[in-house]
Amino acid sequence: MKEAQAVKRSPLLYITQPNLQPAYVKVQEYISIKKEAQIIEEESVTKEKKVVEQQGVAQEGNNAAKSTNDRKSFKEFSTLEKIHFFTNAKSNMPKPLCEIMTEHDTFQGKIMSLENEMVTARILKDPYKVEIPLSSIKSVQIIGL
């Protein structure tokens, strides 16, 4: 019995087996690459580099300033930048809970809008809606969402 099991046989597919030759499987021997797409991509990259180099020389100072402003953390923003961040945020982003410190009071709530140098905030305590002059705000900190 062990000798019969040692002989490797092909699987049975039909009730009566025809004598078939073993199948020769072709493995992929070559790779086809579309050269047109590569050429177009290379041309567009070189054109973009030329345009960037031409504009980069003229706007090098401006780009450096923009890249540093884009990469600042929220703690590094000025008070006005923080208020603009909250008022200009996307509508699908929830407004975070903030602590607004003024010269006389401290408010906890959400900054809703900025109009005519007046910041409108919805706070947690009564009265629930407060308008604060922009000049009297000392700092703005995020408490939570």
Distance CA(69)–CA(77), nearest Å, equals 9
Distance CA(118)–CA(84), nearest Å, equals 12
Instruction: Give CA 136 to chain center in angstroms.
Output: 35
Compare 30 and 123 and report the one with higher pLDDT. 123
At residue 38, the pLDDT reads: 56
At residue 73, the pLDDT reads: 84
Q: How far is CA 13 from CA 7, 18, 22, 23, in A?
A: 18, 9, 14, 14
Compare 85 and 71 and report the one with higher pLDDT. 85
- Assign 25 a pLDDT band (cuts: 50, 70, 90): low
Q: What is the mean pLDDT of the chain?
A: 75
Q: Are 93 and 100 in contact (CB under 8 A)?
A: no
Distance CA(2)–CA(31), nearest Å, equals 46
Torsion on CA atoms 70, 75, 79, 81, rounded to nearest 10: 10
Q: How far is CA 53 from CA 24, 58, 69, in A?
A: 56, 9, 22
Looking at the chain, the number of H-run helices and the number of E-run strands are: 4, 5
CA gyration radius, the chain: 35
Share of the chain above pLDDT 90, in %: 27
Q: Evaluate if residue 35 carries a pLDDT over 90.
A: no
Q: Evaluate if residue 107 carries a pLDDT over 70.
A: yes
At residue 118, the pLDDT reads: 92
Q: Evaluate if residue 101 carries a pLDDT over 90.
A: yes
The Cα diameter of the chain in Å comes to 99
Q: Evaluate if residue 17 carries a pLDDT over 70.
A: no
- Assign 40 a pLDDT band (cuts: 50, 70, 90): low
Q: Are 143 and 124 in contact (CB under 8 A)?
A: no
Q: Is 100 helix (H, G, I), strand (E, B) or coil?
A: strand
